[in-house]
């Protein structure tokens, strides 16, 4: 009996598409889902499209590579050893349950690869547990949504290198490509580093999405631009080499999407009908938690998580809107001001986005030191160049700036610093000023500027905090002129 190169458990959209991707790349893949009908339907659909005359050749090959299995025993028995099993199931208890059911069926050196958005500490606990039975557990971040899973995601595997080597040929084939055509996958490092890096990716994702939402707010409510104009503006932003990104591209498309449920002659724009309460599954919040635990300053990620929280508090907002008076000092924008605003927001967005990546890298660097992971930051940025949600043109320069070639890295770093320190910075400040004057909340824009200004300032006012702590709590303070800890009776 022919055995499968790899197995995949969990046929929700992501799992189903990843299985198709693997099969499309010529690997035989066994699939299993708890609900048998889901597997039957998935495989039946695959076989059906196989016989469809218009199916491309690689599609029919792919479909014959998809093997439905209906018990875990059958699934495991059909895999080449060492077995490689991808889990694409709900993060949390489901991963523990599935691992517990699977492991007695597996042999030494078999590999479970958890591709869900699991917490890196859970991943490390599972790795330890399975290592007792000589089983490998890889925590693999996967980004790119449904489309990415099907056509090429960015993959962030973390775990034992020997286990990575076994899955590498498949993972390199199914991944997206970076700017140089290399696969957007690398061995991130041992332990939970893969899931940690994916979590930080999501933290950056939250931050950039919030910046885009604030830009939209400014342009719509201060600039008075219509949805069609907004689409044009964001399409224009996407031509800026640093801003060119998946998130800006989809944002431009969102503005012109009409309500599919409105069959009138002049349907409404869907964006105007969508509730303003943003949900979250948790990775953004985890990023802020670990940033606080590790003592890393990541204000934009914090601001983005907070902004989602306040957006969800619809009841309080609706109630307080009637009580809270707003006094603004804003003037009406002239057509020339409006034109300027488009450029100002573009400049602010460009620099602020750069700062979001910087905050993520700062967190990765600190975790690397703390947990002794020995991460390659340039490689991490490289594998975010394609497939993932935060892919952007800027990551070309950033990968170089973080690279091993010191001379090139320094030149690129200087170029980035010059951009941050140049004229565009005035726009960044101006956008925040305009927002404050017009009572438009821009927490992420402001947080990024605070990040920049705090690091640009050699002396912060926290000497006063130290004095206050010593005054009321005898917590002691350090002095600038001599070493040691001091306390006085204030
Ligand atoms: C990705 C996304 C993906 C998912 C987020 C959404 O990289 O493909 O990040 O993992 O869309 O988990 O997270 P929230 O529901 O928390 O916004």
**Ligand 1 contact, 466 CB (< 6 A):** no
Q: What is the CATH number of the domain that holds 37?
A: 3.40.50.720
- ∠ CA 163-166-170 to the nearest 5 degrees? 125
Query: Helices 394-401 and 406-421, interaxial angle, to 10°?
Result: 130
Which tokens is 345 given? Answer: 């927001």
Q: Which atom of ligand 1 is nearest to the CA of 198?
A: 7
Residues 156, 194: contact at Cβ < 8 Å?
A: yes
pLDDT of residue 245: 98
Q: Of 443, 463, 393, nearest to 206 (Cα)? A: 443
CA of 97 to the centre of ligand 1 (A): 23
Last residue of a domain, one of 137, 156, 191: 191
Shared-domain flag, residues 112 and 167: yes
What is d(CA 153, CA 427) in angstroms, rounded to the nearest whole number? 35
Phi and psi torsions of 259, nearest 5° = -65, 115
| Burial degree of 356 (CB within 10 A; 0-12, 13-18, 19+) | buried
What is d(CA 134, CA 168) in angstroms, rounded to the nearest whole number? 20
Shared-domain flag, residues 371 and 412: yes
Of 38, 160, 166, 205, the catalytic one is: 205
Q: Please write the tens of the pLDDT for every residue from 215-254.
A: 999 999 999 999 999 999 999 999 999 999 999 999 999 9
Confidence band, pLDDT 50/70/90 cuts, at residue 56: very low
Shared-domain flag, residues 182 and 210: no
Q: What is the CATH number of the domain that holds 485?
A: 1.20.5.320
Mutate to test the pocket of ligand 1, among 89, 185, 202, 311 (most ligand atoms within 8 A of CB): 202
**Ligand 1 contact, 280 CB (< 6 A):** yes
Q: What is the CATH number of the domain that holds 358?
A: 1.10.1040.10
What is d(CA 110, CA 106) in angstroms, rounded to the nearest whole number? 6
Of 198, 285, 366, 424, the catalytic one is: 198
- Cβ-based neighbours of 328, under 8 Å, separated by 6 or more: 437, 438, 439
Answer yes or no: 232 catalytic. Answer: no
Which tokens is 297 given? Answer: 């300053």
Residue 1 included in any domain: no
Q: Which atom of ligand 1 is nearest to the CA of 153?
A: 8
What is d(CA 323, CA 385) in angstroms, rounded to the nearest whole number? 47
Which tokens is 295 given? Answer: 């003592």
Write out the residue range of the structural domain in which residue 485 sits: 463-490
Q: Considering only 53-67, 402-416, 446-460, which range has the smallest mean pLDDT?
A: 53-67
Number of domains in the chain: 3
Shared-domain flag, residues 185 and 206: no
What is d(CA 140, CA 163) in angstroms, rounded to the nearest whole number? 12
Please determine, for residue 329, whether its predicted confidence score (pLDDT) is greater than 50: yes
Please determine, for residue 167, whether its predicted confidence score (pLDDT) is greater than 90: yes
CA of 46 to the centre of ligand 1 (A): 27
For the segment 25-43, the average pLDDT, to the nearest whole number, is 96
Q: Considering only 209-218, 313-322, 391-400, 425-434, which range has the smallest mean pLDDT?
A: 313-322
Phi and psi torsions of 205, nearest 5° = -55, -45
CA of 55 to the centre of ligand 1 (A): 31
Shared-domain flag, residues 417 and 279: yes
Which tokens is 125 given? Answer: 């606990």
Q: Of 459, 375, 450, 361, nearest to 413 (Cα)? A: 361
For the segment 79-91, the average pLDDT, to the nearest whole number, is 98
Q: How far is CA 460 from CA 199, 356, 362, in A?
A: 30, 22, 20
Q: Of 307, 356, 90, nearest to 205 (Cα)? A: 356
Q: How far is CA 156 from CA 48, 176, 187, 256, 291, in A?
A: 33, 12, 7, 34, 20
Shared-domain flag, residues 205 and 256: yes
DSSP letter assigned to residue 273: G
**Ligand 1 contact, 283 CB (< 6 A):** yes
Q: Give the residue carrying structure tokens 């907002």.
A: 317
**Which residue lies with its CA nearest to atom 11 of ligand 1?**
145
Shared-domain flag, residues 160 and 213: no
Q: How far is CA 77 from CA 64, 65, 107, 167, in A?
A: 19, 16, 11, 18
Q: Give the residue carrying structure tokens 């046929």.
A: 11
Answer yes or no: 205 catalytic. Answer: yes
């Amino acid at each position: 009996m022919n055995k499968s190169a790899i197995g995949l458990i969990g046929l929700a959209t992501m799992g189903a598409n990843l299985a198709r991707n693997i099969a499309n790349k010529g690997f035989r893949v066994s699939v299993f889902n708890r609900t048998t009908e889901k597997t039957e339907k998935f495989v039946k659909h695959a076989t059906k499209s196989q016989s469809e005359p218009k199916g491309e050749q690689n599609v029919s090959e792919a479909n014959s590579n998809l093997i439905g299995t209906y018990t875990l025993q059958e699934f495991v028995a059909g895999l080449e050893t060492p077995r490689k099993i991808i889990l694409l199931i709900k993060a949390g208890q489901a991963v523990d349950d599935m691992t517990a059911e699977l492991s007695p069926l597996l042999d030494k050196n078999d590999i479970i690869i958890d591709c869900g958005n699991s917490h890196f500490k859970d991943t490390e606990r599972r790795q330890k547990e399975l290592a007792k039975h000589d089983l490998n557990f890889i925590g693999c971040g996967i980004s790119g949504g449904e489309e990415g899973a099907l056509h090429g995601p960015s993959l962030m595997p973390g775990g034992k290198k020997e286990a990575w080597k076994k899955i590498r040929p498949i993972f390199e084939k199914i991944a997206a490509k970076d700017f140089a055509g290399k696969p957007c996958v690398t061995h991130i490092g041992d332990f939970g580093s893969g899931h940690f890096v994916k979590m930080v990716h999501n933290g950056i994702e939250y931050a950039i999405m919030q910046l885009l939402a604030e830009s939209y707010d400014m342009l719509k409510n201060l600039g008075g631009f219509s949805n069609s104009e907004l689409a044009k503006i964001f399409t224009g932003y996407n031509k800026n080499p640093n801003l060119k990104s998946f998130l800006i591209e989809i944002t431009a498309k969102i503005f012109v999407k009409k309500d599919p449920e409105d069959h009138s002659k002049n349907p409404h724009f869907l964006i105007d009908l969508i509730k303003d309460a943003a949900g979250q599954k948790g990775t953004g919040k985890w990023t802020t938690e670990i940033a606080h635990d590790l003592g890393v300053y990541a204000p934009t990620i914090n601001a983005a998580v907070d902004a989602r929280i306040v957006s969800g508090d619809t009841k309080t907002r609706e109630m307080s809107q009637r009580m809270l008076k707003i006094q603004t000092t804003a003037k009406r924008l002239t057509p020339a001001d409006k034109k300027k605003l488009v450029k100002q927001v573009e400049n602010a967005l460009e620099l602020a986005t750069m700062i979001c990546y910087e905050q993520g890298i700062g967190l990765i660097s600190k975790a690397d030191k703390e947990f002794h992971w020995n991460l390659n930051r340039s490689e991490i940025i490289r594998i975010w160049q394609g497939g993932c949600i935060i892919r952007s043109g800027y990551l070309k320069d950033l990968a170089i700036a973080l690279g091993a070639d010191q001379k090139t890295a320094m030149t690129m770093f200087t170029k980035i610093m010059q951009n941050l320190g140049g004229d565009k910075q005035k726009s960044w400040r101006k956008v925040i000023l305009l927002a404050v004057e017009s009572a438009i909340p821009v927490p992420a824009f402001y947080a990024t500027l605070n990040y920049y200004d705090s690091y640009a300032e050699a002396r912060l006012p926290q000497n006063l905090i130290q004095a206050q702590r010593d005054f009321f709590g005898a917590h002691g303070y350090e002095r600038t002129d001599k070493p040691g800890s001091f306390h006085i009776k204030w």
